[in-house]
Each structure stands twice: as structure tokens, then as C-alpha cells.
Amino acid sequence: MAAVFLVTLYEYSPTFYISVISLCFVVTAAMVLGWFGFDVPVILRSTDETESNLPTPEKKMVQVTNPFALELGSGPSSVSEGVAVRPRCLEPCVLSCFWGCGVNALQGALQSHQNGPRLSIPRLFEEALQFQYHHCQTFQVDGDDTEERHTQMPAELGVQDFGLLPRERYPLVVVLTLAEPDAREAYNIVSSVTVIHVPDKSYGLSTRTLFQYLLTTQGNMYELKPLFMSGEGAGPSTGALDPNQRAPPQATPQATAAPIDGEPSPAAVDDNDEDDVDEEEEEEWCEGKGRDCVVCQNGAINRVLLPCRHACVCDVCVSRFQHCPICRAFVMESFALSQEPAATQTH
């Protein structure tokens, strides 16, 4: 019967026949690939996609306290007029601003942190950079001090821009280190390194953070990356956060990361100190805690999906999907925002 239908269809219109056969082949191939876990375009996915046969692997994470946070200040900024930054730290610290820091010098300094002395004080950082920067300006910051600091390169240096891409120097590198020896022994994270773009004649893009790294006492380096969470329904948190468990307080938007060869990546370290790590700012944590799972609309959001880093599902729903409900990216693994036992939920 099917053969007779195909022959009749071919006699009616060979072009239409080829189109129908091609469409059937594409749909069948997409279904087979989706069944075996391969990622396929959204338009070819089944709308009945529900539970996954394979549970999402869980990434083991360890919570650490980050004593450093840095925000870009208000007001105009440029290479000639300077930049305002606002440090927010748990302990007294030293804010060091390196203008025109060499790109290779910075990468070399970060790599030397793994094999040489830990870059826990400004002097060691300057030596690791081999003094390859135009100007260095330092500020003393108290633990409860949130005032903006304005840093500017001296006009007599005559530097107006840093050239076209690829550049040999970063416009501004801001380093935060703990000021007191006792504090350096108390924290696992010894310094924070922030690379900032500053508008100049060659590139007028607004001031922004390009990279942010954390350096640990073990010689590890982690690059901070953001978590993505919906802003809808944001409200005050119903639960309290222990400041000794998470940090920084009111920090810049940072979160998860994966190590890069020879480069840093962020706080909250996994058991092997080599894989993905995570850290959420206190404000983002508190807001996210009160949001509901995008799937069941019942349980609290407690899972971050990797590698897309969307925080959108609860502990129960995370095992039901192979693809992120937000961006449809394939989920390789996930980790929990809180290690507290999940509450009983009705789905």
C-alpha cells in the first residue's frame, strides 16, 4: 500500500515526492539523535520531552568566603579623567590600581602565583609584574569603608589611549589584598584581580569589567563568571544568610567559573580544586532564594545548570531534563546553591 502511494506521488510530481521524502528523513534523523542524547535544533525537538533516562551529574562544590568585592563607581570615566571604583571588603585591605599594565606581564604574574610566592601583598604583585606598568596608585581601605576611590594616571605621562587591537597593555588592573597578616591567614582567598576597560581615543566603549580573578593560598586561580537568573518576581529573601558561609557582601555580579590553562577562575572550589568553581554575591543569593522553579512553580530554585549557568530549577526537577528550560542548551552537570535538604514538594 505504501509503495503504491509513493509511486502515485512520484508520477504526480517528482519534485513534491523528493520534498516529502527529504522532510521525513530529516524528522526521523532528528528523533533518533534526540533519543540518544544529541542536541538538535529546537524546532525539531519533541514537545513531549519530559523525563530524562540519564540523571544530570552533580558537581561537588565547596563553599568558601571571599573577603573582596569591587564595583565601578559613578560619574564619567576615561584614560585622561580617571576612574572611580568602590571596594567593599570584609577586612581592611589595600587597593592597588595599575594603569597601563602589560598583558603578558599580568598573565605571567598570575602564572607565577601557582609556582612561586603567593601574591598576597602589593609588593609581591609589583615584582611579579616586573614593574611593567605606567603608573601605580594605592589606597588603604577599612573593612566597613564603602566610599568611592578615584584613580587617575598622571597627566605628565602623556598617555591618551592604549592603541588598537590586539593591545599590549590593559588600561587598568585593580588588585585588592588583605592589609593585616592575621586576616591573610584566616581566609583561603588572598587577593582579587580585576581587569577594567577604560574609554580612550581608540575605543570609546563605556567603562566595564573585562575579567575578574581570585587567587588562593593554595596557588589556584579562578575566573569569576555570572549566574543567569530571571529578574521577574524578585523580592526580599525569606531566609537569612550566614555571612561566614558566602561572600562578598553587596559585591559585583560574580558567580561560576571554569579554570583556564594558565589563567584564573572563581571562589567556591570543587573537591579536586581543578574543576568548575562557584560564588554568588550575597544580594543575588538572597533574591534568588525567594524565586520558584520555572518548571514546577512550586519548589525554590536551588540548582545551577552547567555549562550555561542558568539558575532556574529546583532539586526535584533537575533530574527531569537533558536540556536547560531557559536556553535549551544540553545540560552536562549541575550544582546546588544550598546544601540544605530539599523541602517536600508537590508536583
Q: If you average pLDDT over residues 187-192, what whole number do you get? A: 93
Whether the pLDDT of residue 62 is over 70: the answer is: yes
Which residue shows C-alpha cell 521525513?
Answer: 24
pLDDT beyond 90 at 15: no
Query: Where do we find the cell 589556584?
Result: 220
Q: Using the predicted structure, report yes or no on whether residue 251 has a pLDDT greater than 50.
A: no
pLDDT band at 54; cut points 50, 70, 90? low
Mean pLDDT along residues 64-85: 90
182: CB partners within 8 A, 6+ apart: none
Helix (H) or strand (E) holding 84: strand 83-87
Check whether the bond before 248 is cis (ω within 30° of 0).
Answer: yes
pLDDT of 256 strictly over 70? no
Residue 182: other Cβ atoms inside 10 A: 8
Q: What is the pTM of this model?
A: 0.65
Classify the phi-psi angles of 56: left when phi > 0, otherwise alpha if psi is within -120 to 50, otherwise beta.
Answer: beta
* pLDDT interval class at 207 (50, 70, 90): very high
Question: In this model, does residue 232 exceed pLDDT 60?
Answer: no
Region 327-334: mean pLDDT is 90
Look up residue 148 and give its three cell numbers: 568611592
Name beta bridge partners: 84.
Answer: 150
Distance CA 257, CA 226 (A): 8
Place of cell 594603569: 99
**CB atoms closer than 10 angstroms to residue 77:** 23
pLDDT at 284 over 50: no
